[in-house]
Every structure is written in structure tokens, then in C-alpha cells.
Amino acid sequence: MKRFAVYKYMVDFEKREQWINQMASKGFNLIDRSGIRFLFEEGIPGEYTYRIQFLKHFPSHLESQAYIAFME
């Protein structure tokens, strides 16, 4: 599948979530994010719905790791 990166600076998390879901509705699924780089892969339009959620602890914390594993 074709992959491509988009560099976009977004502070508002609600707008970021909306934008990512707009991309997903066009068939571009988010597979990685680092800073302002969003990596997408072509897929089925509307296959995924994305939600941004904040953790209580750092991702390395055991509670966070258990939650992330559950969500995957």
C-alpha cells in the first residue's frame, strides 16, 4: 500500500482529531505520528475512526502500557 507523510502543525486537539478523521474518510489511515509529521497509508475509506485520548501517566508507566495494550 502507498504511504505518504503530511507535515502539519496543529495545537487544537479537537481540530486535529477532526482532520485525521477527514483523512480516514478519504481512505488515508494514520499509521504513525511524530511531532508535526503524520504518516498515512492508503486504505478503505471510513474503515477507521480516530479518537485522541490523554493518559494519566507517561506511556512507559505500567498502567499506561496495560491500557495501550488493551486498546490495540
Q: What is the pLDDT of residues 2-26, one digit of tens each?
A: 999 999 999 999 999 999 999 999 9
Question: Distance of CA 68 to CAs 39, 40, 57, 60, Å?
Answer: 20, 20, 12, 10
Q: Does 1 have pLDDT greater than 90?
A: no
Q: Does 72 have pLDDT greater than 90?
A: no
pLDDT for residue 55: 92
Measured in degrees and rounded to the nearest 5, phi and psi for residue 65 equal -60, -40
For residue range 24-64, what is the model confidence (pLDDT) as tens digits? Answer: 999 999 999 999 999 999 999 999 999 998 999 999 999 99
